[in-house]
Amino acid sequence: MKNNKALTLIIIITCINLLLWTTSKNTKDGSVVDIDFENYLAASWESGLADSPIYATMLGDKRFNKEIVSNSADEIEKRKLEAIDSYAEFKAFNIEDLSEGNKLNYMILDQDFRHAVESNKYPSHFMNLNQRGGIQSFYETGSRMVFSSYQDYKDWLIRLNKYSSNVKNANDNYKKGLELGYTQPKHITTYVLEQIESMVAAEISNNPYLKVFKEASLEVITEEQKNELVLEAKELIENSLNPAYSDLAKFLRNEYIPNSRNSIGLKDVPNGSEWYEYLARYHTTTNLTPDEIHEIGLKEIKRIRSEMEEIIASVKWDGDFNSFLNFLRTDKRFYYDNAEDLFDAYLIMSKKIDPLLPMIFKDFQKAPYGVTEIPMESAPYTTTAYYNSPSKGRPGYYYVNLYKPESRPKYEIPVLSVHEAVPGHHFQISIAQEMENVPEFRKHQSFTSFVEGWALYSEELGEHMGLYDDPYDKFGQLTYDMWRAIRLVVDTGMHYKDWTRDDAINLFVNNTAKSILDIENEVDRYIAWPGQALAYKIGQLKILELRTKAETELGEKYDIKDFHYEVLKRGSVPLSVLETYINEWIESEK
């Protein structure tokens, strides 16, 4: 899973002011129109960085280092109106007047704008309380930034001081949401409350917001400066952040949780079913309905289950499917008993995969990546692993969960590593960031169905690299494929139909070898984040469909390296756009 909190272009384009227009923009002279359009793209990117200052910092642009994005109701409403105005001005360009390269840029922007405007109908700021990266976890943002000077640390202190206002604004937003019937389920908010209360109750010296300053490198600042920063940060936490979080916790405990809903589906908030239909379209970049996605999931579960049964037969297991799953969950041979050995295993696997990539690729990323642990403050509540992309002066990072190592099976390590690192997220995202002769926004564009679809597709590529020669490792890969198929069923089931949390958990338990802890965390993730989990399997299936078509139609001319080059060379694009370009490539190869 890519948990890169860097903002997508949708957020950037909703803040565009605008821009550089000339009277020649409607001419049929493509070169003149293209120049105008490219000026527009460049100006939009610059304006978007100013309006997305955290994202700018993560890209290495420090011009807005003291700023954050306000979550006040007035600012949210202002951004909605700006999105509508910006889209109207964007549509003054005629796609038919543009070059082929700019037609692709136009199609991508047009889809982003349409989704941004449509999303205005749904008050997501009432519903962003969640246990994974919510208002209580802003400190994680600091751990993803590069601090190369004393001023960088001072700027982060200024941002943290401003962020206390965002905590207060969130309190106001959730109060309004409660009045209007927009709340998260009780048990999701209970997780958030536990996190906030734990953070506020801790000694100031152990507060996660202090970590950036305590770990500041003496190669960057002096010891005196470090001590000064730590002291200032402690005062800020004690006088600003903790009081704001305490007020929020009090509201959640005494008012929000007692009066929020017991149900888990988005369909149970006002206009919730329509909202979920939009989220399904947005995350998959298709027009598939929730019902259609549910059926695709059921078919995939049946197919993958058959492959799992073949593995069980191959190891001559004397028992049924459920007893084999129980064996995998409980036999100590499949687990490490300490975090250090588990972490070393992830490191070793990453090094093993790197030299295998030339077997199936001809173009490679330049950016390095590292393996690091998920912060222990959030580890109990989050998934097995996630990835954060590289930026100027900072490599990409594959984050692994070391909490309760006895619950994290060895046979998941190969499949997780190809998904999060290479040839999955790090490989694909770095290649996109390193594209040349494209507008800047294209390097950072992120359509979930493409990015996560590619990462899930990469899991299958482990087969081509010989990573699953051990039948248990292969079963681990099938478990992860099953996991994403089940997502289609449980996400639509919980948010669009009448599934309970137990229904979702039981479908996982009966079809995968994942631990109960992982299963519960995953189901709670889908509850808190409707629709996002649909993108993985839908994207994977489209890429596999296109690969099969290329193999069939090209015959001896087919080379998997060429196919992968064509899929990745344009960066992240909607699935419909990917299909168009792959079909054109197949015809040209013929």
For residues 425 and 457, what is the distance between their CA atoms, to the nearest angstrom?
11
Residue 562 included in any domain: no
Domain end (from 81, 100, 121): 121
Tell me how far CA of residue 234 lies from CA of 199, 228, 367, in angstroms.
Answer: 13, 10, 35
| Total domains, the chain | 3
User: What pLDDT was estimated at residue 92?
Assistant: 95
Residue 551 included in any domain: no
Q: Do 163 and 16 share a domain, yes or no?
A: no
Q: Do 454 and 535 share a domain, yes or no?
A: yes
User: What pLDDT was estimated at residue 24?
Assistant: 33
pTM beyond 0.85, yes or no? yes
pLDDT in tens, 516-547: 888 999 999 999 999 999 999 999 999 999 99
Is the distance from CB of 98 to CB of 26 less than 8 angstroms? Answer: no
Give the position of tokens 């543009």. Answer: 98
pLDDT in tens, 389-410: 998 778 999 999 999 999 999 9
Q: Do 355 and 297 share a domain, yes or no?
A: yes
Residue 559 included in any domain: no
Q: Do 171 and 22 share a domain, yes or no?
A: no
- Mean pLDDT of all residues belonging to the chain: 93
For residues 296 and 292, what is the distance between their CA atoms, to the nearest angstrom?
6
Mean pLDDT confidence for 149-173 = 98
DSSP state of 394: B
Residue 12 has pLDDT above 60, yes or no: no
Q: Which amino acid is at 117?
A: V
Residue 581 included in any domain: no
Q: Do 243 and 381 share a domain, yes or no?
A: no
Residue 568 included in any domain: no
Q: Do 182 and 55 share a domain, yes or no?
A: no
Residue 574 included in any domain: no
Task: Name the residue among 433, 434, 421, 431 with its Cα closest to residue 369.
Answer: 421
Q: Do 247 and 294 share a domain, yes or no?
A: no
Res. 30 pLDDT band, cuts 50 70 90? low
Residue 72 has pLDDT above 50, yes or no: yes
Provide long-range contacts, Cβ within 8 A and 24+ apart, for 60-68: 60/146, 60/391, 60/392, 60/393, 60/394, 61/392, 62/152, 62/155, 65/151, 65/152, 65/155, 65/156, 65/159, 66/155, 66/158, 66/159, 67/159, 67/162, 68/159, 68/162, 68/163, 68/166
Mean pLDDT confidence for 74-94 = 95
Q: Do 254 and 372 share a domain, yes or no?
A: no
Residue 561 included in any domain: no
Residue 6 has pLDDT above 70, yes or no: no
Strand order in the sheet with 369-373: 369-373, 396-400, 385-388
Q: Do 498 and 350 share a domain, yes or no?
A: yes
pLDDT in tens, 199-251: 999 999 999 999 999 999 999 999 999 999 999 999 999 999 999 999 999 99
Task: Name the residue among 445, 372, 516, 566 with its Cα closest to residue 8.
Answer: 445
User: Six-digit token pair at 576?
Assistant: 């419909």
pLDDT in tens, 320-366: 999 999 999 999 999 999 999 999 999 999 999 999 999 999 999 99
CB-based contacts of 20, cutoff 8 Å, min separation 6: 36, 39, 40, 43
Domain end (from 235, 270, 305): 270
Q: Do 178 and 323 share a domain, yes or no?
A: no
Is the distance from CB of 484 to CB of 304 less than 8 angstroms? Answer: no
Mean pLDDT confidence for 158-185 = 98
For residues 175 and 183, what is the distance between their CA atoms, to the nearest angstrom?
9
Q: Do 145 and 173 share a domain, yes or no?
A: yes
Domain of residue 74, residue span:
1-121
Domain end (from 102, 121, 140): 121
User: Six-digit token pair at 58?
Assistant: 């993560």
For residues 221 and 225, what is the distance between their CA atoms, to the nearest angstrom?
6
Residue 557 included in any domain: no
| % of the chain residues with pLDDT over 70 | 95
Res. 514 pLDDT band, cuts 50 70 90? confident
User: What pLDDT was estimated at residue 392?
Assistant: 79
For residues 504 and 483, what is the distance between their CA atoms, to the nearest angstrom?
11
Q: Do 327 and 210 share a domain, yes or no?
A: no
Phi and psi, residue 461, nearest 5° = -65, -20
For residues 182 and 125, what is the distance between their CA atoms, to the nearest angstrom?
10
